[in-house]
Amino acid sequence: MNCKSGFLIFISITIVFSACTNGPKEQTLNDSSSNWALLNFVKVDSSNPVLVPGTNEFIDPISKKSIAWEAKDVFNPAIVVKNDSIFMLYRAQDKIGLPGGTSRIGLATSIDGLHFTKLSSPVFYPDNDSVKKYEWQGGAEDPRIVEDDQGIYYMTYTAYDGNLARLLVATSSDLHHWKKGGSVFAKAFNGKYLNLWSKSGAIVSKYERGKIIAAKLNGKYWMYWGDQNIWAATSTDLINWEPIEMKTNEKAPIPLKGQALNMPLLKIVVPTRDKMFDADLVESGPPAMLTNKGILLIYNSRSLKNIGDTSLPDGTYTAGQVLLDKNDPTQVIKRLDHYFMKPDKTYELTGQVNNVCFLEGLAYYQEKWFLYYGTADSKIAVAVRKK
């Protein structure tokens, strides 16, 4: 999640992205049957939270100082199953610099999905490299990880420079050593999306034997992204992505602020919905799952009392699910008309940002589904669904 300090900037600069909270609020094919969704997760109260801030330090390569890099908060993890273990790559914040500190990505492992052992140093962080201008001083946030058919890992993550969030990508063969690939949109449409707000890239994947393997549909990889509405993008190499724009014969539901009449609009795939739990924003969760019924996307959402679900405290983050057409991944088939997880535990209700369950890591492990999420932007918890 958060980049909260940059959210207002997102509203002011989003020229070709959306109309923010004034965008389309469609009741898109709501569905109460739920027979296509991944439901019945139970929070593991006996172990939660499974990861909390720590005192580990490392020498920051930019400041050259020893930094307690996870002293403030840990949250929003990516999950990989490898060698019969769960690997968690999680966002961690220090207590210096910007109001939210600098974010880095740590690594923890578990043999039961509930008890984790951390590495003492982060495995991914801002450095004196080609993307420092995008990552410093806000850092690297909110990873999501898939692998290709050769076993190479691809991590989409948010780089935050203190003003603007950008969706970037990195690759690794071992989850410890990463090669940064820069902005996923740097080459698309002559770079016109490079310096506009983007984050939360969930690549469509096959969940097979614990692995999350990026899947091609009609010859291309697909990714859902965004944290206001949810948009889509395609790629041939998992590094360079092209956002899906509206066709010339398509019209925006309403004019977008600052939108030139002759400038294409991004195609909104999953919009917000008035008077519901996802009225204020929707944001991609774990890598999207290719199923025999379609593409299942778990997403995070925020509600405000004046436009959303009045039974929820103002600003509450809950989670929903949507099913998309694998023959046309921009088309919604079904969508839950209710959230399937909400904050109701002490560690979810109070923290850096109150009333937050933010789902980002999903794994099939030891014959069960494990769903990992950030709690109040402060800790990490897990819910489990038996097969």
Three-class DSSP labels, 53-109: CCCCCEECCCCCCEECCCCCEEEEEEEEEECCEEEEEEEEECCCCCCCCCEEEEEEE
**Residue 120, beta-bridge partner list:** none
The answer to whether residue 336 is domain-embedded is yes
Pairwise CA distance, residues 60 & 322, whole Å: 40
Q: In 268-356, at which residue ranges do the beta strands (DSSP E only) sit?
A: 281-284, 289-291, 294-303, 316-324, 332-336
Place of tokens 């038996």: 386
Pairwise CA distance, residues 368 & 387, whole Å: 5
What integer pLDDT is reported at residue 247 of this predicted model?
84
The answer to whether residue 95 is domain-embedded is no
Pairwise CA distance, residues 292 & 137, whole Å: 43
Q: Which CATH number is 327's domain given? A: 2.115.10.20
Average pLDDT over residues 74-85: 97
Q: What are phi and psi of 56, to 5 degrees?
A: -60, 145
Percent with pLDDT over 90 in the chain = 84
Please state the domain count of the chain. 1
The answer to whether residue 333 is domain-embedded is yes
Provide the residue range defining the domain that includes 26: 4-44+128-369
**Residue 206, beta-bridge partner list:** 213
pLDDT value at 94 more than 80: yes
Of 189, 112, 123, the residue nearest 157 (C-alpha)? 123
| pLDDT tens, residue by residue, 7-56 | 333 333 333 333 333 333 333 455 555 689 999 999 999 999 999 999 99
Q: Could you tell me if 91 and 378 are in contact, meaning their C-beta atoms sit under 8 angstroms apart?
A: no
Q: Could you tell me if 337 and 31 are in contact, meaning their C-beta atoms sit under 8 angstroms apart?
A: yes
The answer to whether residue 200 is domain-embedded is yes
DSSP H helices in 106-188: 132-135
The answer to whether residue 94 is domain-embedded is no
Amino acid making up residue 248: T
Pairwise CA distance, residues 344 & 342, whole Å: 6
| pLDDT tens, residue by residue, 327-375 | 999 999 999 999 999 999 999 999 999 999 999 999 999 999 999 999 9
Of 98, 144, 82, the residue nearest 286 (C-alpha)? 144
- Is the torsion defined by CA of 219, 224, 230, 232 positive or negative? negative
pLDDT value at 61 more than 90: yes
**Residue 136, beta-bridge partner list:** none
Pairwise CA distance, residues 282 & 300, whole Å: 6
pLDDT value at 209 more than 50: yes
